[in-house]
Amino acid sequence: MARKLIATAYGEPSDVLEAAEVDVPRARRGAVVVQVRAAGLNPYDVKVVRGQMGADPDRLPLSVGGEAAGVVHAAGPDSGFRVGDDVVVYPASGALAEYVVADAANVHRKPAELGFAEASSLLLAGVTAVDTLATLQIDEDDVLLVHGGAGAVGSLVVTEAVAAGATVIATASPRNHDFLRGLGAVPVTYGEGLSEAIAAALDGARLTAVIDTVGTDEAIDVSLELVAPHRIVSVAAWGRGDDGIVLLSGGSERSRHYRRAAVEPLLTDAASGRIAVTIARRFGFDDAADAFDELLGGHPRGKIVFEPR
Ligand SMILES: NC(=O)c1ccc[n+]([C@@H]2O[C@H](COP(=O)([O-])OP(=O)(O)OC[C@H]3O[C@@H](n4cnc5c(N)ncnc54)[C@H](OP(=O)(O)O)[C@@H]3O)[C@@H](O)[C@H]2O)c1
């Protein structure tokens, strides 16, 4: 038997999360069973548990977790993997568990230089960041505003946009401004006075694009004052589609292509240290609800990582 984290109902994490005893999954043809060393927690997981992505009772109990890293425990025929291989699973289903089963197409070899925690928390945010930049075709001629530049998606957007030669302005709480400067962005504080702060950071330059990872009306309204809607890409402002901005869920053919193509380069770049994954906190079955609540708070300062123990 093995343990996995489940939500018995939709609701607050402290009310609905529990560790369930389940059978160790079997490896069917073309799939592998991975013993999870680490699994990245993402805002999406918290939204799913709280019923914000739909509350179909037929899906209960919910398995949680969209990415993991670990060691192949059992390899099905034609999977291309062997027992003992170190791997990253993305996209995963039910990754907050001791074992996760995945189709081989979603299993990637983990570079030896990359730790399990970092590997487990890289790809979901990373492919999203690449998708936003590729959709806008950001290059050295761009002056880009990033909302939420210190978050998991935002910090990778900033890193890659700076690497592409763009001028980058990014919003964050003041405590994250040095972090943003370190990535090569000009930091601005969100909240009251955001418009004026962005104008000061632009210093006469003309904004050419916006990537929003926050989804607030403040972020979208200030962006619409500065650029045409088709130059605003958001991964979070689901209520603002009528404004003509570009909403990316990863579901379109173009997004799927960008995201698939981004996986191997992201693993290579994280292994070489060109891009960084900061771990803010590690948690297990016992403090899972607390970790979910911390992410729900909206200011995690790095990735929150599940480690079964
Ligand atoms: N559509 C997709 O494919 C996709 C994929 C991945 C993620 N997402 C979504 O993208 C969003 C960000 O994900 P993430 O993993 O990057 O989250 P994260 O690591 O938790 O970062 C959230 C960031 O939001 C900032 N923030 C919080 N409240 C804010 C406010 N009122 N105004 C401006 N900034 C604020 C925080 O900045 P400070 O700490 O500096 O205050 C923090 O850096 C989530 O909504 C997530 O669900 C969508």
| Alpha-carbon distances, residue 249 vs 95, 141, 223, 254, 255 (angstroms) | 20, 26, 20, 11, 8
Question: Is 154 within a domain?
Answer: yes
For residue 307, how far is its CA from the centre of ligand 1 (angstroms)? 22
Q: Whose CA is nearest to atom 48 of ligand 1?
A: 235
Q: Which parts of 116-185 fold into alpha helices (H)?
A: 116-120, 123-136, 152-163, 177-183
Nearest ligand 1 atom to alpha carbon 300: 20
**Does a cis peptide bond (omega within 30 degrees of 0) precede residue 91?**
yes
Which of 157, 188, 214, 246 should be mutated for ligand 1, with most atoms under 8 A from CB?
214
For residue 28, how far is its CA from the centre of ligand 1 (angstroms)? 36
| Alpha-carbon distances, residue 155 vs 48, 115, 117, 128 (angstroms) | 23, 19, 18, 11
Considering the domain architecture, whether residues 69 and 165 belong to the same structural domain is answered as no
Question: Is 209 within a domain?
Answer: yes
For residue 148, how far is its CA from the centre of ligand 1 (angstroms)? 6
Question: Is 167 within a domain?
Answer: yes
Tokens 């799913």 label which residue? 48
Question: Is 281 within a domain?
Answer: yes
Contact 18, 8 (CB under 8 A): yes
Considering the domain architecture, whether residues 12 and 103 belong to the same structural domain is answered as yes
Q: Phi and psi of 227, rounded to 5°?
A: -140, 165
Question: Is 240 within a domain?
Answer: yes
Q: Whose CA is nearest to atom 10 of ligand 1?
A: 213
Contact 255, 248 (CB under 8 A): yes
Considering the domain architecture, whether residues 161 and 213 belong to the same structural domain is answered as yes
Considering the domain architecture, whether residues 147 and 238 belong to the same structural domain is answered as yes
Predicted confidence pLDDT, tens digits, the chain (309 residues)? 999 999 999 999 999 999 999 999 999 999 999 999 999 999 999 999 999 999 999 999 999 999 999 999 999 999 999 999 999 999 999 999 999 999 999 999 999 999 999 999 999 999 999 999 999 999 999 999 999 999 999 999 999 999 999 999 999 999 999 999 999 999 999 999 999 999 999 999 999 999 999 999 999 999 999 999 999 999 999 999 999 999 999 999 999 999 999 999 999 999 999 999 999 999 999 999 999 999 999 999 899 999 997
Residue pLDDT, tens place only, 207-226: 999 999 999 999 999 999 99
Question: Is 43 within a domain?
Answer: yes
78 lies in which domain range?
2-122+277-306
Pocket of ligand 1 (CB under 6 A): 42-44, 124-125, 128, 147-148, 150-154, 171-173, 176, 190, 213-216, 235-236, 248-250, 295, 298-300
Considering the domain architecture, whether residues 94 and 138 belong to the same structural domain is answered as no
Considering the domain architecture, whether residues 31 and 144 belong to the same structural domain is answered as no
- Supply the CATH number for residue 21's domain: 3.90.180.10
Q: Whose CA is nearest to atom 12 of ligand 1?
A: 213
Considering the domain architecture, whether residues 19 and 112 belong to the same structural domain is answered as yes
| Alpha-carbon distances, residue 307 vs 69, 98, 215, 241, 258 (angstroms) | 10, 9, 29, 37, 29
- Non-local (6+) Cβ contacts of 269 within 8 A are 275
Considering the domain architecture, whether residues 38 and 6 belong to the same structural domain is answered as yes
Nearest ligand 1 atom to alpha carbon 153: 16
- Supply the CATH number for residue 136's domain: 3.40.50.720
Which of 235, 255, 301, 305 should be mutated for ligand 1, with most atoms under 8 A from CB?
235
Distance CA 298, CA 278 (A): 16
Residue pLDDT, tens place only, 143-185: 999 999 999 999 999 999 999 999 999 999 999 999 999 999 9
The pLDDT of residue 309 is: 78
Structural domains in the chain (count): 2
Beta strands in 90-240 (DSSP E): 99-103, 107-109, 143-147, 167-171, 186-188, 209-212, 232-234
| Alpha-carbon distances, residue 219 vs 146, 156, 226, 234, 245 (angstroms) | 9, 19, 11, 10, 12
Burial class from Cβ neighbours inside 10 Å (0-12, 13-18, 19+) for residue 82 reads exposed
- 3-class state of residue 241 by DSSP: helix
